[in-house]
């Protein structure tokens, strides 16, 4: 059975729309340890763009401390690993 090009375009558009909607409804907070519900709630209160989002917490021991937030195209790296990496890059730029 051959699928028409029009139907293929419509399906692709529908899938991309659904993926974008899902990304807009969810956010991921990566931390060195599992966050409590109270800590996740505090993130929502302190970062307005996280309100009304489904927040997933992933544990990444490489972060060392701090957090990384990924919400759609918003990316905030406030982790110790990220800070050390940025510092090292600045040191290497100056030499």
What pLDDT was estimated at residue 1? 66
What pLDDT was estimated at residue 19? 66
pLDDT in tens, 3-46: 788 888 888 888 777 766 665 689 999 999 999 999 999 999 99
- Res. 68: pLDDT tops 80: yes
> Residue 58: CB partners within 8 Å, gap ≥ 6?
28, 29, 30, 31
| Residue spans of alpha helices (H) in the chain | 5-25, 37-46, 80-94
| Boundaries of every domain in the chain | 26-94
Look at the pTM and tell me if it is higher than 0.85. Answer: no
What pLDDT was estimated at residue 73? 83
**Dihedral (C-alpha) 88, 91, 92, 95: value to the nearest 10 degrees?**
-170
């Amino acid at each position: 059975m051959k699928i028409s090009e029009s139907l293929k375009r419509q399906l692709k558009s529908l899938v991309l729309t659904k993926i974008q909607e899902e990304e807009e409804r969810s956010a991921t907070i990566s931390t060195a340890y599992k966050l409590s519900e109270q800590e996740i709630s505090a993130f929502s209160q302190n970062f307005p763009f996280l309100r009304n989002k489904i927040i997933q917490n992933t544990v990444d021991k490489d972060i060392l401390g701090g957090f990384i937030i990924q919400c759609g195209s918003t990316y905030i790296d406030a982790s110790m690993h990220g800070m050390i990496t940025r510092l090292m890059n600045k040191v290497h730029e100056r030499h």
